[in-house]
Every structure is written in structure tokens, then in C-alpha cells.
Amino acid sequence: MTRRYSVRLTRGARADLGDIASYLAREASPAIAAGFLDDMRELVQGLQAFPEGGAVPKELEGLGIQKFRQVDKRPYRLIYRVNDDTVFVLLIADGRRDMNPLLQRRLLG
């Protein structure tokens, strides 16, 4: 039987999700925003079963920081940390942006 993890979005990750969905609904279409939310829901469901399957973000790996992982549905990246049987989603962002300041502020600050 596959172990199931609990997945929790931090306040910052929930804000990211809402901000991106609102932007997509306004600038593209409500259907694209709904598709984005479906994609993120799918990623979260995958984390419930296989949280260790994500890669260490390259920006953090270069600093020797291994405790964070990411999964993506391009161009969006979902960055998280596993703690016992809980996955904490810390950040959801468009991976085309400069991630270093965001990662420093949100994960390392």
C-alpha cells in the first residue's frame, strides 16, 4: 500500500495561487485560469503519493541547499518541503521570472 502524505499550502502559496489565477482570468481568460488551477491540483495530488519525486531547485542546489524540492507544470513551479508525513507547499511561481530574489525572500529569509 502506498503511503499517503498530507499536503498543506502555506499562506504565501495560497496567495500565489490566487494571484496567478486572477491574473490569468483577467489577462487571458477564465478558462485558462481554471486550467491553471486544475494543473496545480494535479501536482498536489501527485505530492500526496510521491513527494520525494520532485527535484531540488537548481538555484538552491547550487548553494548546497537540499531540503526543498519542486515539481512543475511549465511554466509554473511549485516548491515544497517534506516534513515527516506532511508536504508544505511554500511557493508557486512562474518559472520564467528571476527566481533567486523570490527564493531568498520566501524560503531563506
pTM: 0.91
Residue 109 has a pLDDT of 74
CA 35 to CA 108: how far, in whole Å? 30
Q: Tell me, rounded to whole angstroms, the distance of Cα 46 from its chain centroid.
A: 12
The C-alpha torsion from 55 through 61 and 65 to 67, rounded to 10°, is: 0
Whether pLDDT at 106 is above 80: yes
Q: Residue ranges of the domains in the chain?
A: 6-108
pLDDT of residue 1: 63
The percent of residues above 90 in pLDDT, for the chain, comes to 83
Q: Note the CATH number of domain 6-108.
A: 3.30.2310.20
For 18-60, write each residue's pLDDT tens digit.
999 999 999 999 999 999 999 999 999 999 999 999 999 999 9
Residue 80 phi, psi (nearest 5): -145, 170
Q: Could you tell me where the beta strands, DSSP code E, fall in the chain?
A: 6-9, 69-73, 76-83, 86-94
Mean pLDDT in residue range 3-16? 96
